[in-house]
Amino acid sequence: MNVVIIGCGVVGAAIAYQLSQVKGLNITVFDKNQPAQGSTAAALGVLMGVISHKIKGKAWQMRQESIQRYETLIPELEGITGRKIPFNRQGIVMLLSENSEHPLESGVEVMTEWEQLREVRKSQGWQLAVWDKEKLQEFCPQINHPNLIGAVYSPQDRQLNPTALTLALVDAAQRNGVKFKFGVSVKNNQTPSSQLIQISPTVTEQLKSIETSEGTINADWFIVAAGLGSTLLTTQLNHKVHIRPVLGQALYLSLGRFLGNPEFQPVVTGNDVHLVPMGSGDYWVGATVEFPNDEDEIFAKKELLESLRQEAIALCPDLAAAKVLRTWSGLRPRPEGRPAPVIDKLPGFSNIILATGHYRNGVLLAPATASAVQKMIVSP
């Protein structure tokens, strides 16, 4: 059975590796770029699963499945490929302050809410610790902000390097026989859709082939994991799924020494600012959330990046002395008018699977997405 995957960010690569372990599948991955470009290259790789507020349904199940899978997937990929995938196992510390969005909500109520989540997680077999301000100072002395009332510590959440992960997934999938075609594009919208698509005249439509810059490609299954490119592809298939860009900017800071306790370097997050340890006194700081105009155009605002840096310094004053080694930005794929992500068959087609629009959780949900796609193909 021939399977085509369009897109080789972290989601497409995870699907390729997952399916490469199924006997009888002949898999080809197409991407107009090299792997791990786009939103994957810009992602911080913060895996907020246990510490998320999702407690039931598909949203929680996917997070739980992915967090569990990463514990085995990282050593598995490192063993197969010999590549090192930076993987921070020291958890996530989420800083708490009195809720400024709801001024009547006191610090006591904020703490109570998290204590309730801690009990839910305990019943699900996961750990959360709720710290008061003194406990936070004990574990993270680098954090110093007058509005903080404490923190939540999630020891089982993780952070990893998304680019290293994606390249390892590609390497491992190749070793299992997957073919990767980089620099090959599925034809753009200047190609008449009648040329792009050949549909068999059956009651439930099946896509028989796609046109690429290397010619016509036939397959039994087509998986669209193209992030923002999914809008154009689905439009050409006359079933548009609108994925809009949301820009994020981030900084790479170097302090030359560890913040706080060198033996305890978790991700610290507060007020939507992530402080991500990179080793040897280097830190990623991200990320802004910048929405597009009505034409889906978006331009990075320098003042928002500077505001992000200042917010990080407000949480951790030592960062004022850090050098900015580089800045970068990326576009997150956010579905319009429907929740993220989109993991489903394309309406009207029995053999086109959408695995796209993960917005801010592409890295987190990649393993569970790959598993869901496999189930749709192996037992449709």
In a shared domain, residues 323 and 256: yes
**What's the CATH code of the domain at 145?**
3.30.9.10
Element (H, E) at 243: strand 243-254
Number of domains in the chain: 2
In a shared domain, residues 78 and 178: yes
Structural contact between residues 123 and 1, judged by C-beta atoms closer than 8 angstroms: no
Q: 296, 315, 332 — which closes off a domain?
A: 332
Structural contact between residues 252 and 326, judged by C-beta atoms closer than 8 angstroms: yes
Q: What is the C-alpha to C-alpha distance for residues 320 and 309, in angstroms, rounded to an integer?
A: 9
**What's the CATH code of the domain at 175?**
3.50.50.60
Token pair 């810059």 is found at: 213
109-146 CB burial, b ≥16 within 10 A, e <16: ebbebbeebbeebeeeebebebbeeeebbebbebbeee
Q: What is the C-alpha to C-alpha distance for residues 62 and 85, in angstroms, rounded to an integer?
A: 22
Predicted TM-score (pTM) of this structure = 0.94
In a shared domain, residues 75 and 93: no
In a shared domain, residues 362 and 220: yes
pLDDT, tens digit (0-9, with 9 covering 90-100), for 297-356: 999 999 999 999 999 999 999 999 999 999 999 999 999 999 999 999 999 999 999 999
Mean pLDDT of 191-198: 43
In a shared domain, residues 308 and 359: no
In a shared domain, residues 274 and 287: yes
Q: What is the C-alpha to C-alpha distance for residues 374 and 355, in angstroms, rounded to an integer?
A: 11
In a shared domain, residues 143 and 254: yes
Mean pLDDT of 226-241: 94
In a shared domain, residues 261 and 326: yes
Residue 132's pLDDT band, with cuts at 50, 70 and 90, is: very high
Structural contact between residues 329 and 249, judged by C-beta atoms closer than 8 angstroms: yes
Residue 194's pLDDT band, with cuts at 50, 70 and 90, is: very low
In a shared domain, residues 174 and 227: yes
In a shared domain, residues 81 and 198: yes
Q: Is the peptide bond before 173 cis (omega within 30 degrees of 0)?
A: no
In a shared domain, residues 268 and 279: yes
Angle at the Cα of 368 from the Cα atoms of 47 and 18, rounded to 5 degrees? 115
| Alpha helix stretches (DSSP H) within 133-210 | 133-139, 162-175, 193-196
Which range marks the domain in which residue 96 is found? 88-155+245-332
Distance of CA 135 to the CA centre of its chain: 30
Residue 190's pLDDT band, with cuts at 50, 70 and 90, is: very low
Q: Over 80: is that where the pLDDT of 215 sits?
A: yes
Token pair 């969005």 is found at: 101
Q: What is the C-alpha to C-alpha distance for residues 86 and 35, in angstroms, rounded to an integer?
A: 18
In a shared domain, residues 81 and 97: no
